[in-house]
C-alpha cells in the first residue's frame, strides 16, 4: 500500500513538472513570437532611427505636383511641416491606386498613406486613422443640363435609381453608393475604375465619355473651376472627416502626428495652406498651365535646351533642370551679388573659360553650364562610383568650387574616412571646414570654407530631382 502511494506521489510530481516546464516553453515561444512581431513593426522609434518618413501620396492638382519647377501640393506641404518638426527627411512613393497604397502600407513599404481618406468603418477594419486633416462631403459630378442633352440631369438623389456611376476603385464612394441604393430602395449600377486617378475620371465626365461620378467636394470644387461644363451641386453624403491612414500597430507615430495636427490646424499657416489648394482662384491657373506637371509635363520653357545639354554629361535631364532651378529659378536675367549671371549663374571668369557671356543665347549658356559640369566630373577620382555620391560631389563643386571639395576629400583620407563616399565622409569634412582644426590642416590648400551652403545646395537639388522623377516623365 505504501509502495503504491509513493508511486502515485511520484507520478503527480512528474506530471506537475511536465506541466510547469511545458508552460515555460510555451511562454518562451509566445515571447519569441511577440518579439518577431515587434521586430517587424515600424513605429515612430524606427522611423526616427532611420531618419526619414516614407509616405504614399497620389499625384494630382491638390495633393502633390510640380509647378514651374517647384514641388507643391496640400499633402506634400503638410508632410513637410510634420517632418521638419521632427527633423526627418521625407521620402514620397507615388501611387494613385488606393488599393495598391493599402498593400504598401500592409507590407511596410510605406509608413502612412498621406491622402484625404474618408474615415469609414470599413476602412477602419484594415487601418488606423490620424486626427482629421479636413472635412468634406461626397457629391455627384455630372455635366450641366442642356436642352438637347439625352443624359438625365440629377438634382434629387432618388433619380439615381437605375443610373450607372463610374468611381475610383478603393474610394469611399463605393460604400456610400451602396448605402444610398438601400436608402432609395432601388439599384445603382456602380462601375469601379482601377487604372485612373480621380481627376482623370472627372475628365471623362467633362468630355462626355461617362455620365456620372462621385468624389469629395473639395476636389470637385477645384475641377469645377477647370471644367466649365460640370455640375457638382448634388450631394450624396453628409459631411465626413478626412485623414491619413496608418498601420494599427503604429501607435506612437499616430500619437505624434495627432499631437502635431491638433496644434497645426489652429494656426493661420494651416488655414492659408487649405485656402491655397482648395479655395484660391489661382488653383485654376496652376491646373491650366503648361508648367503644371499633370498636363504637358513641362518643368520650364527651356526644357528642349536642357534635354539636349544633358546629353553632354549623360545626366537625366530632370537632374540638370533641378540644378538650373536652384541657380536661377529659370530666370535668365538674374545676376547674383557675386556677379554670377544668367540661367546657369556662371561666374564671369568661368563663363569666359567656357566661351560665353551675358549676351550669349540661353541655349548657349545651358550648354556651357553642362560643359562645366563635365569638366568638374572629369576632375573627380574615378573611385567615386556611386551615382548619387558622384552627383553630390559635382553639385557641391559647382556651388563652391572644386578646390574646397578636394580639400574635404584629402581630409577624409587623412582621418580614416572614405574619400569616395559623400554621406558621413566627405560631407562631414566639408561641413567642418569652417573649423580651424581642419581648414588649417596641412593637407588643406584652399583654406576656410562655410560648408553648410554647398551641402544644402547639393542635397536640395538632389531632393528636388527625386520629386521631378515622381511626376515628370523622362521622355
Instruction: State yes or no: is 327 an active-site residue.
Output: yes
End-to-end CA distance of the chain: 95
Instruction: Tell me the C-alpha to C-alpha distance, in Å, between residue 383 and each of 99, 371, 386, 387.
Output: 43, 21, 9, 11
Active-site option among 192, 217, 327, 388: 327
Cα 104-106-112 angle, rounded to 5 deg: 65
- How far apart CA 72 and CA 388 sit, in angstroms, is 24
Instruction: Tell me the C-alpha to C-alpha distance, in Å, between residue 391 and each of 369, 377, 425.
Output: 15, 8, 15
Closest CA to 88 of 259, 242, 257: 257
Are 65 and 293 a contacting pair, CB within 8 Å?
yes
- How far apart CA 318 and CA 306 sit, in angstroms, is 8
DSSP state of 346: B
Which contacts qualify for 449-454: CB closer than 8 Å, 24 or more apart? 449/400, 449/404, 449/407, 451/400, 451/404, 451/408, 453/399, 453/400, 454/395, 454/396, 454/399, 454/400, 454/404, 454/405, 454/430
Are 114 and 94 a contacting pair, CB within 8 Å?
no
Cα 441-445-449 angle, rounded to 5 deg: 80
- How far apart CA 52 and CA 204 sit, in angstroms, is 38
- How far apart CA 356 and CA 456 sit, in angstroms, is 28
Which residues belong to the active site?
327
Amino acid at each position: 500500500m505504501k509502495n503504491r502511494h509513493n508511486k502515485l506521489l511520484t507520478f503527480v510530481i512528474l506530471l506537475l513538472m511536465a506541466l510547469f516546464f511545458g508552460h515555460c516553453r510555451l511562454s518562451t515561444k509566445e515571447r519569441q513570437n511577440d518579439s518577431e512581431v515587434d521586430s517587424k513593426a515600424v513605429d515612430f522609434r524606427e522611423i526616427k532611427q532611420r531618419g526619414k518618413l516614407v509616405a504614399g501620396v497620389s499625384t494630382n492638382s491638390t495633393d502633390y505636383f510640380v509647378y514651374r519647377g517647384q514641388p507643391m501640393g496640400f499633402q506634400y506641404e503638410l508632410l513637410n511641416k510634420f517632418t521638419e518638426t521632427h527633423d526627418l527627411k521625407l521620402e514620397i512613393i507615388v501611387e494613385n491606386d488606393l488599393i495598391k497604397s493599402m498593400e504598401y502600407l500592409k507590407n511596410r513599404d510605406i509608413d502612412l498613406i498621406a491622402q484625404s481618406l474618408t474615415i469609414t468603418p470599413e476602412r477602419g477594419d484594415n487601418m488606423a486613422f490620424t486626427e482629421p486633416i479636413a472635412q468634406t462631403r461626397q457629391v455627384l459630378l455630372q455635366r450641366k443640363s442642356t436642352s438637347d442633352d439625352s443624359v438625365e440631369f440629377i438634382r434629387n438623389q432618388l433619380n439615381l435609381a437605375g443610373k450607372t456611376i463610374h468611381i475610383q476603385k478603393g474610394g469611399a464612394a463605393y460604400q456610400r453608393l451602396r448605402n444610398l441604393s438601400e436608402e432609395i430602395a432601388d439599384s445603382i449600377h456602380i462601375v469601379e475604375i482601377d487604372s485612373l486617378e480621380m481627376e482623370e475620371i472627372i475628365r471623362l465626365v467633362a468630355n462626355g465619355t461617362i455620365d456620372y461620378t462621385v468624389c469629395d467636394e473639395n476636389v470637385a470644387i477645384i475641377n469645377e473651376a477647370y471644367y466649365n461644363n460640370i455640375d457638382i451641386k448634388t450631394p450624396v453624403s453628409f459631411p465626413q472627416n478626412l485623414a491619413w491612414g496608418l498601420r494599427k500597430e503604429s501607435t506612437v507615430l499616430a500619437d505624434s502626428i495627432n499631437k502635431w495636427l491638433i496644434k497645426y490646424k489652429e494656426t493661420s499657416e494651416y488655414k492659408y495652406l487649405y485656402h491655397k489648394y482648395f479655395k484660391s482662384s489661382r488653383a485654376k491657373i496652376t491646373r491650366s498651365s503648361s508648367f503644371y506637371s499633370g498636363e504637358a509635363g513641362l518643368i520650364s520653357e527651356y526644357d528642349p535646351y536642357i534635354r539636349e545639354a544633358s546629353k553632354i554629361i549623360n545626366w537625366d535631364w530632370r537632374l540638370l533642370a533641378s540644378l538650373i532651378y536652384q541657380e536661377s529659378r529659370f530666370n535668365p536675367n538674374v545676376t547674383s551679388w557675386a556677379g554670377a549671371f544668367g540661367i546657369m549663374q556662371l561666374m564671369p571668369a568661368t563663363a569666359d573659360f567656357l566661351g560665353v557671356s551675358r549676351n550669349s543665347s540661353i541655349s548657349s549658356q545651358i550648354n556651357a553650364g553642362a560643359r562645366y559640369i563635365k569638366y568638374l566630373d572629369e576632375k573627380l577620382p574615378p573611385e567615386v562610383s556611386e551615382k548619387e555620391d558622384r552627383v553630390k560631389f559635382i553639385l557641391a563643386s559647382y556651388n563652391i568650387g572644386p578646390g574646397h571639395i578636394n580639400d574635404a576629400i584629402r581630409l577624409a583620407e587623412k582621418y580614416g574616412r572614405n574619400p569616395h563616399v559623400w554621406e558621413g565622409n566627405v560631407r562631414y569634412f566639408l561641413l567642418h571646414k569652417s573649423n580651424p582644426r581642419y581648414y588649417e590642416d596641412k593637407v588643406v590648400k584652399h583654406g576656410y570654407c562655410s560648408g553648410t551652403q554647398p551641402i544644402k545646395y547639393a542635397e536640395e537639388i538632389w531632393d528636388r530631382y527625386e520629386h521631378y522623377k515622381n511626376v515628370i516623365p523622362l521622355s
